[in-house]
Amino acid sequence: MTDSRKDNALAFTRHDHADCQQHLLQTAQQLCAKRSVRLTPRRLQVLEILLRSHQPMGAYEVLQAMNDIEHNIAPPIVYRALDFLQQQGLVHRIESQNAFIACIHPGHHTTAQFLICAKCHRVAELDDQQLPAMQLAQDLGFKAEHAVVEINGLCAACRE
Ligand SMILES: [Zn+2]
Ligand SMILES: [Zn+2]
Ligand SMILES: [Zn+2]
């Protein structure tokens, strides 16, 4: 893995996205094989659609994209695939937009922190597991399981 791929601002910077997409699809396949869970062609297709860009997509948009490939896909098929992908940490839900985005650092985190650009609609996922509030929760005897931080604003390119 190159340094640029680990870059927190990957989504906002010019990069070879085809390579990025391919790498993440491969990582997902390896993770599922290791966990002995089935990344069925349908689930893989949903992930591939979400990985077409670094912009989150609503479930309905994913359904539309699937219907472009193959007609008459029933919505529950998409919802079930999204559920599976979320359970495996391969996809995150951006709560403020009720939309989904492929995980950029799959397989190794319980906190997810996003920078959401209001102008280009791209979302960067920080590769940073340190969240001060999680430590505070632990100090208070609270068993924290999962945290999502959504930071809204403008990316560097859109500010220019
Ligand atoms: Zn990319
Ligand atoms: Zn993630
Ligand atoms: Zn932007």
Q: Cα torsion for 20, 26, 28, 33, to the nearest 10°?
A: -170
Alpha carbon of 140 to ligand 3 centroid (Å): 37
pLDDT digits (tens, 9 = 90+) for 119-140: 999 999 987 677 888 889 989 9
Residues 6 or more apart whose CB falls under 8 angstroms from that of 5 comprise 15, 20, 23
Whole-number Å distance, alpha carbon 72 to ligand 2 midpoint, is 30
Report pLDDT for 127.
77
How far is the C-alpha of 103 from the C-alpha of 20, rounded, in Å? 12
Question: Average pLDDT over the chain, rounded to whole?
Answer: 90
> Would the pTM count as exceeding 0.85?
yes
Q: What spacing in Å lies between the alpha carbon of 128 and ligand 3's midpoint?
A: 20
Topology of domain 3-159 in CATH is Arc Repressor Mutant, subunit A (1.10.10)
Does residue 5 have a pLDDT over 60?
Answer: no
